[in-house]
Structure 1
Amino acid sequence: MLKNKRPFIISIILLSILMIAWGLSYVVASGPIIQDEAFEEAIRAEIDYEIGEIRPDQLTQIEHLQIRDANITNIDGIEHFTSLTSLDLRDNQIQDISSLSELDSLTDLNLRGNRLNNIEALAALSNLEELNLRENAIQDISSLENLTELADVNLRYNNITNLEPLQDLNNLRDRLYLEGNPITDFSPVIDYYGEINETDIDPEEYSENQDLAPVFSHPGGFYEENVELELTSPEEEGTIFYTLDGSVPDPVDNADQTYEYSGKIFIDENNDEEPTLSMIPTNFIDDRRGWNKPGTPQDQGTVVRAVIVDENDNVSSVTTQTYFVNIQSSLPVFSLSTDAENFFDDEMGIYVPGIHHEDSDWTGNYYQRGREWERPIHVEYYESNGNLAFSQDAGVRIHGGFSRRFAQKTLRLYSRSDYGESRFSYQFFEDKEMDDFNRILLRNSGNDWGMTMFRDAAMQRLIGHLDLDHQSAQPSLVFLNGEFWGIHNIRDRLDKHFLETHHGADRDHFTILDGEGTISDGLETGVEDYAELIDYVQDNDLSHEEHYEYVQNNMDIENYTQYYATQIYNANSDWPHNNISFWRYENLNNEAVTTDELDGRWRWFLYDVDRSLGYEDYDHNTIEMTTSSVNPGRDEEWPNVLLRSLLENEDYKHKFINEMADHLNTTFNTDRVIQTIDEMEAMIEPEVERHIHRWGIPESVADWEEEVEIMREFAVNRPNIVRQHLSENFEVDGTANVEINFDSDQGRIQINSIDLREGTPGVTDPENWSGEYFTGIPITLTVTPNEGYTFTGWGDEIDSDSETIEITLEDDITLEPQFN
């Protein structure tokens, strides 16, 4: 019996040993082959593998991999992609690429927008044909000297000075981009440079204009570990000087803050040091908007600014980089650097009250305007993923009216050729495909400061689809000389530069008026013409068609009506006696008009709507305020003259009432407004506590949430209140519901100004739509059959087969357009 069991017992023992060995090997294994969570998530999406440990055999057959803008810092594990021929890791946070050295099948590699300064691993990639290393911190490209298959290389915006490694690359003839590097010697590539199909600089001209500024071993940005920063000079002669307080290095005039570079600069998180600028009072108001001493510790970055002074005392341009160690941001970040006295000096500082002279009418430094009160500043802009978007010198002024007196102020940034760059060439706003800005505002949210900090931005987002010139918005964080300065909304400024870029005409051919018709910019003839228009509407009865037509020829009625519908809905109590601005194109050269906006009629800007969406109670009677004979804002007639005169015309009155109804049904539909509020609340919510810690207002996150809830209450209650006010003011009996049911595959329906189709803001289900309109006021409906269909009628309640009908409501109605 025992003899027969022996093989079985031996098998059990061997199996146990194998299981133990397997278990031990699993325990001592190095763990997952992908270390970086963001990298792992992207790879899982690539191989469609949600759960379970990623195995090498799942990666070996992949030939093409693109993972952009994923916040990847560590690419360990990439070596298992042994079949890769194309790899795109653009716009991540990668510093170490040593694991790429095993991917010898790569022919196309894109590492643009990372943090590389060591590319030795590329020396092993002998099959590379296309290589993009743009926007890193690379100095040494010797690893490329034997990559003889290279045909296309992009090295823009690094710290490269020596091109010798490219000298013998006989296939480098498709493209070579070198702009943005401190190169003065092009001799290694000059013999074949003219044979390259695509280049970006003239070597001779570039060499002459190249400024030998200091080279930084690490680009500015966000780091999880301390940075050991090295500064080098492209030439042996010359001494590097640097500062750490945001001021311009100057060993003579700024000797106390200027250091001679002699070795590595060690940069840590810097948050245990008490901030200095944040402790300077920026107003002396006693109420809740007065300056509060910030809580400590505060997040602080480190600004390094450096110059080279040569043996003849010639000074290079300033290189500026800001380093954020162990600082996180869910929003884009502006790092602003300047001599502190530009903001805080009692005599010249633009951010402080300054010295009060009892015998003068001085109102404070921050109330001063004009070029005299513009100060130089360096601007770095980091995207929410930490990538540097741009870095340039600019000018800065305080912006705004009443809100200048608040502790945190709005900054107006100026791009001007005097500073180097004449534009901020970046697309700041998702809703605006434009990357050309002369002016940018970093707004404190105006009268909404210390409340929600996005009322104005939300209101303007809601009307972004209308024919109104408005300001887009993007929340951001600002650091001033490394110190946290809180949430600011990026806004474009409404001025002649805005009109030029948005409407495509010479900025000097626009006239902008404010208030009662005061010139802001442009020609005095515009003041005279607008005054004549107002005189005309006061002297003539616009119920007569010829007088109404005259007004139509001089102002864009559609634009004006949308503008008033917006302001009335949002209950803006700081208007129209204030914050009203309008413009026209002068067409000085009598060229052919290319767009309606350039037809010479007056149009209105929408701006400063921070007193909206619940700033006033939702039952604020804005209709009465804007149609009374005297506007209560200033106890004057002029703010209401134009609207009151237009409403004398019966057709316009119906248009105005229907325009209000259309927007209450769509643009300001409660669900749409609440969705917008929710989205914008979510954007800044992660940063609100840090903002409060800095400025002491609102008092708590809970208080901020209560303010946001007031906006939602406004969204729920405001539409019916406006309908009630319209009914009372225009003596309308009430409202009725219009329901429209149709098949959108067969045709399209329009009710007044609303196109019932997918994509129309506020229209969620175009085939089963309902809206509220005013009884006794004619509404217009139009049907457009799709190709292959014929319209046959509006359904049982309307006996008509006309494609356009006008109906006057008495009760609720259901329309069911029919097609054959």
Structure 2
Amino acid sequence: MKRMQIIFLLMFVISFSRAQVLINEYSAANFDSYLDNYNEYEDWIELYNSSSNSVDLNGWHLSDRASNPMKWSFSSSFIVPANGVAVIFCSSRNEIIGNNAHTNFKLTQTKNNEKIILSNPTGTIIDSVDLVPNLSSQSRGRETNGSINWSVFTTPTPSANNFNAQLEYSEKPSFSQAAGYYTGSVSVSITTNDPNATIYYTTNGDQPTINSPVYNSPITLTTTSVLKAISVSSLANVPSSFTEYATYFINDNHTIPILSISGDSVDVLIEDGVQNIGSWWNGTPHEPYGTVEWFNAQGLLIDKGTGNFNKHGNDSWAYDQRGFDYVMRDQFGYNYALKDDLFYTKDREEYQRIIVKAAANDNYPASFGGSGAHIRDAYIQHLSQISDLRMDERSSSNCILYMNGRYWGVYEIREKVDDHDFTDQYYDQEKDSIQFLKTWGGTWVEYGGPQAQTDWDNLKNYILSNPMNNVANYTTVKSQFNTGSLIDYFLLNSYVVCADWLNWNTAWWRGIAQTGEKKKWRYTLWDMDNTFGHGTNYTGIPTQSVNADPCDPSSLNDPGGQGHIPIWNALITSEDFFDDYVNRWQDLANGHLSCANMIDVLDRMINVIDSEMPAQIARWGGSYSTWQQNVQDLRNFINQRCSTMNVGFVPCYQPAISGPYDVTVEILGQGEVEMSDNNFINDSNTPWNDQRFGGVKLPFEVKSGNFQNWDVIPSGVYTYDPNVDTLVLDLQNDVTVIANFIAPIPTKDIIFNINPDGTNTSLSVNGNNIVNFPHTETFLLNDTVDVNANIDPLYSFLSWVSDSNYLNNGVSSINNSFYVLYNDTITLNIFELPSISAFISGNDTICENSKSNAEVNFSFNGVAPFTFTYSINGDIQ
């Protein structure tokens, strides 16, 4: 008995000690206050053990979702000391190394739907707390270790006792008028429900402080301004409020969306000369904090938030309209992403990082003596994107930029590609699962550490040291390298005569998480400003003129030193690669990169900014007519380039290729054929006319339809099997390819019905029992359908009715059949039988012995057949 008491007492102590592990403090606002073992500022959770015994959390769970309380498990020993604390980082690393624990999730404090949940090994929730936003680098925790009262800590205390707790932030002020368009002026009142608060405000975009003006009466704004306000409590233990802010556009209306940014150090971006832009220009990292507001063209606020800016671009920073990156910071407590459909080419509604630039080296009027069209980079990236080139591009959307309330001209919002947020969003390849290399003057590893460069070098060396005309070798390369991406990268840069690639503005990457996509090396597009004869020839291509030879890239040595040109020249010796390259060019030249399509895309993009360019020019100089001429020069270059690129292709690769030859594809019947890559020809767009080179394999493949055979005209020139659904030709001259399809057998819909409904009648249709009506089945034309009726015992057969088809047994036979000639409704008509009861009146007994037979005689009027009911001792049988 004593032994059992000791065991019970020990179990109680262990159980009690585990019950005393509590969530003690947390921060999802750790922007720059507490480093983890990787020297990163990650979200963190602090646990407190109030017992006198240390607790091992092996098998316990942490989560940020009430719907999944066991989201992350302590998979090995992790000790919370007696009467002590332990910190867990929410970094998504999913590991425990010694005393450093990292969950498989991050915290997002501004989504307003997350919790922190601590569960024991049985899944019982021991403690939980709702995630409430903090200002940057602050935390929330229990007033003292283990207290039931939660507080704000303006100086967090991870891995230490909680002290110097504060009350909740002072209430954020409210504005009486919404941000947006106003005519003449706007009067704004600012209020707060905090009786101990003083409101401080600014109208120039700066962050308010106690040295800013004190709000006493409504503020009248007569020019476009950014109004900001904070509440500061007179109570020492009440922290200052979050900041309210809004941009009021006075007599400023636009036809495209507006991005308003503001902040103290944003002035660095808008100084009118490079001599004043300070540490950003001389290379010292400087990332000022500030706010963004995103408005649609009608001046309605779509979303806003706070974050930090950093420099984007290099040469263009000599211009007044400079580019920058903006990162929305959940750690600042306002928002976690810019939420809108920023780019119609992307199915995405949240963007943490964006690039904001004013056409960079194609800026008008600043770039290259005023020769810019203010469109080149965005145009080429958009063209690549809608052409479905096998690369990653910066999606683009035009906007008007205001900085601290000052008009700053026509800009572009761009999607940031060289960022793990991008690869995670589209390809499920997170920060620790990508190898990302970039060349801009020199080459560095953006993600993936030294192993990324090693893996690329190994692939490069394999390609350069093994013959690529060997199919097995080329197959090995294709298992690691998206050669289609290389083809598209070279074709596009050759076509637009890019003079700023390979040794500059070149990025390539791959994912290494097996559960993600894009696990082969592929290219991204960077800056595409120095194109179409514009800008400095940084790469040293032979010519920037419209007559640039398609072969020019092959003649370069190895700009950038990363092997892109040597790799190209090696792979071009592979017959498969060469065929893919030549066919891909023809696919594009006859489609997305045709003159007509390229000019159409350009004109549509120019039309978006055309009405805004006069204001841009009024702010920054130049003339509207000069800008229009610059755009026309770009059009002229494109129109000429289409023909020179095509004409130059054959001399590049003679005698390997010949032509081009006219190709006509005809579809006879109903079916679809794919020629080369993504050229789909069917009965709705036949005949299809194209031009193709000889000397390469031109593939055709049936994609749908009841295929019969191929006819190739002229006959007798090509050897092929006419009856298989694939065809490959090496063109010798003009050719017509005919795909013959057997006409499909028409179908007809037959609806079966019962009249009246609601009975227990069923139909057997070709042996299939149907009980729910109306019922529709589809049959082939001329099919024979057998239909038999299983009629409810309380009903009887009356007739069949057919709207269109002939019933073989007439309308009066309960079992029938018909040939399917038309769409039809087949109805079975039935009628209810009369019900008659026969009974013995009074107390008469038919028989007393259940084993004796009895006969009852009765008479009635009616038409047979009849349904009878009878009762025994009053019970209906």
Shorter-normalised TM range: 0.5 to 0.7
Residue 618 of structure 2 aligns with which residue? 693
Alpha-carbon distance in 1 for matches of 2:688, 2:183:
52
**1:373-432, Cα deviation, whole Å (9 max, x unpaired):** 100111111011221111211100110232222221111101223322332233211111
Q: 1:412 aligns with which of 325, 347, 351?
A: 325
Higher relative contact order (CA 8 A, sep 6+): 1
Residue 523 of structure 2 aligns with which residue? 604
- Give the partner amino acid of 2:353: R
Residue 506 of structure 1 aligns with which residue? 430
SS in 1 for 2:612: helix
**1:50-98, Cα deviation, whole Å (9 max, x unpaired):** xxxxxxxxxxxxxxxxxxxxxxxxxxxxxxxxxxxxxxxxxxxxxxxxx
Matches within 5 A, 1:287-436: 301-312=224-235, 314-339=239-264, 341-344=265-268, 353-354=274-275, 365-368=279-282, 372-420=285-333, 421-436=335-350
SS in 2 for 1:381: strand
Which is strand-richer, 1 or 2? 2
Residue 707 of structure 2 aligns with which residue? 790
SS in 1 for 2:490: helix
Residue 679 of structure 2 aligns with which residue? 755
Alpha-carbon distance in 1 for matches of 2:564, 2:486:
14
Alpha-carbon distance in 1 for matches of 2:314, 2:564:
19
Alpha-carbon distance in 2 for matches of 1:708, 1:416:
38
Q: 1:248 aligns with which of 187, 207, 213?
A: 207
- Give 1:637 shift: 8.9
Residue 637 of structure 2 corresponds to residue 724 of structure 1: no
Contact 1:560 1:603 in 2 (8 A): yes
Contact 1:342 1:375 in 2 (8 A): yes
Contact 2:532 2:546 in 1 (8 A): no
Contact 1:783 1:803 in 2 (8 A): yes
- Give the partner amino acid of 1:604: Y
Contact 1:630 1:637 in 2 (8 A): no
**1:241-279, Cα deviation, whole Å (9 max, x unpaired):** 111111112233xxxxx22112111122x2xxxxxxxxx
Matches within 5 A, 1:139-178: none
Q: 1:639–1:402: structure 2 CA closer, same or farther, 3 Å change rule? A: farther
Q: 1:351–1:534: structure 2 CA closer, same or farther, 3 Å change rule? A: farther
Alpha-carbon distance in 2 for matches of 1:344, 1:228:
30
Residue 597 of structure 2 corresponds to residue 676 of structure 1: no
Residue 811 of structure 1 aligns with which residue? 733
Contact 2:274 2:317 in 1 (8 A): no
Matches within 5 A, 1:535-684: 535-587=461-513, 592-595=514-517, 597=518, 599=519, 601-613=520-532, 615=534, 619-621=546-548, 623-628=550-555, 630=557, 638-684=563-609
Q: 1:266 aligns with which of 220, 224, 227?
A: 220
Residue 157 of structure 2 corresponds to residue 230 of structure 1: no
Alpha-carbon distance in 1 for matches of 2:271, 2:183:
34
- Give the partner amino acid of 1:675: D
Residue 359 of structure 2 aligns with which residue? 445
Alpha-carbon distance in 1 for matches of 2:556, 2:400:
45
Identity %: 21
Normalised by the length of structure 2, the TM-score is 0.59
Contact 1:514 1:580 in 2 (8 A): yes
Alpha-carbon distance in 2 for matches of 1:405, 1:317:
36
- Give the partner amino acid of 2:354: I
- Give 1:435 shift: 2.0
Q: 1:573–1:620: structure 2 CA closer, same or farther, 3 Å change rule? A: farther
- Give 1:530 shift: 0.8
Alpha-carbon distance in 2 for matches of 1:375, 1:470:
27
Normalised by the length of structure 1, the TM-score is 0.63
Residue 478 of structure 1 aligns with which residue? 401
SS in 2 for 1:817: strand
Residue 19 of structure 2 aligns with which residue? none
- Give the partner amino acid of 2:274: P
Contact 1:576 1:626 in 2 (8 A): no
**1:576-635, Cα deviation, whole Å (9 max, x unpaired):** 222111111123xxxx5354x1x3x2111122122335538562425333101525x67x
**1:121-162, Cα deviation, whole Å (9 max, x unpaired):** xxxxxxxxxxxxxxxxxxxxxxxxxxxxxxxxxxx99xxxxx
Contact 1:555 1:602 in 2 (8 A): yes
SS in 2 for 1:654: helix
Contact 2:293 2:301 in 1 (8 A): yes
- Give 1:777 shift: 2.4
Residue 158 of structure 2 aligns with which residue? none
Alpha-carbon distance in 2 for matches of 1:752, 1:473:
30
SS in 2 for 1:623: coil
Alpha-carbon distance in 2 for matches of 1:449, 1:582:
26
SS in 2 for 1:453: coil
**1:276-323, Cα deviation, whole Å (9 max, x unpaired):** xxxxxxxxxxxxxxxxxxxxxxxxx11111111222364222111110
In the alignment of these two chains, the number of paired residues is 554
- Give the partner amino acid of 2:351: F
Residue 461 of structure 1 aligns with which residue? 382
Q: 1:773–1:615: structure 2 CA closer, same or farther, 3 Å change rule? A: farther
- Give the partner amino acid of 1:444: A
Contact 1:239 1:308 in 2 (8 A): yes
Q: 1:205–1:806: structure 2 CA closer, same or farther, 3 Å change rule? A: farther
- Give the partner amino acid of 1:678: D
Alpha-carbon distance in 1 for matches of 2:690, 2:633:
25
SS in 2 for 1:316: coil
Alpha-carbon distance in 1 for matches of 2:563, 2:271:
35
Residue 183 of structure 2 corresponds to residue 221 of structure 1: no
Alpha-carbon distance in 1 for matches of 2:248, 2:413:
22
For structure 1, the 5+ residue unaligned runs are 1-155, 158-178, 181-203, 253-257, 271-300, 356-362, 759-763
Which is helix-richer, 1 or 2? 1
Residue 89 of structure 1 aligns with which residue? none
Contact 2:599 2:635 in 1 (8 A): yes
- Give the partner amino acid of 1:431: T
SS in 2 for 1:542: coil
Residue 748 of structure 2 aligns with which residue? none
Contact 2:170 2:197 in 1 (8 A): no
Alpha-carbon distance in 2 for matches of 1:801, 1:688:
60
Alpha-carbon distance in 2 for matches of 1:625, 1:573:
11
Residue 20 of structure 2 aligns with which residue? none
- Give 1:481 shift: 0.8
Contact 2:205 2:263 in 1 (8 A): yes
Contact 1:795 1:818 in 2 (8 A): no
Residue 533 of structure 1 aligns with which residue? 459
Q: 1:639–1:584: structure 2 CA closer, same or farther, 3 Å change rule? A: closer
- Give 1:714 shift: 2.9
- Give the partner amino acid of 2:298: N
Alpha-carbon distance in 2 for matches of 1:798, 1:246:
76
**1:9-56, Cα deviation, whole Å (9 max, x unpaired):** xxxxxxxxxxxxxxxxxxxxxxxxxxxxxxxxxxxxxxxxxxxxxxxx
Q: 1:807–1:426: structure 2 CA closer, same or farther, 3 Å change rule? A: same
Contact 2:664 2:687 in 1 (8 A): yes
Residue 689 of structure 2 corresponds to residue 770 of structure 1: yes
Larger radius of gyration: 2
- Give the partner amino acid of 2:396: A
For structure 2, the 5+ residue unaligned runs are 1-109, 112-131, 134-149, 153-166, 365-371, 536-543, 717-721, 743-877
- Give the partner amino acid of 1:214: P
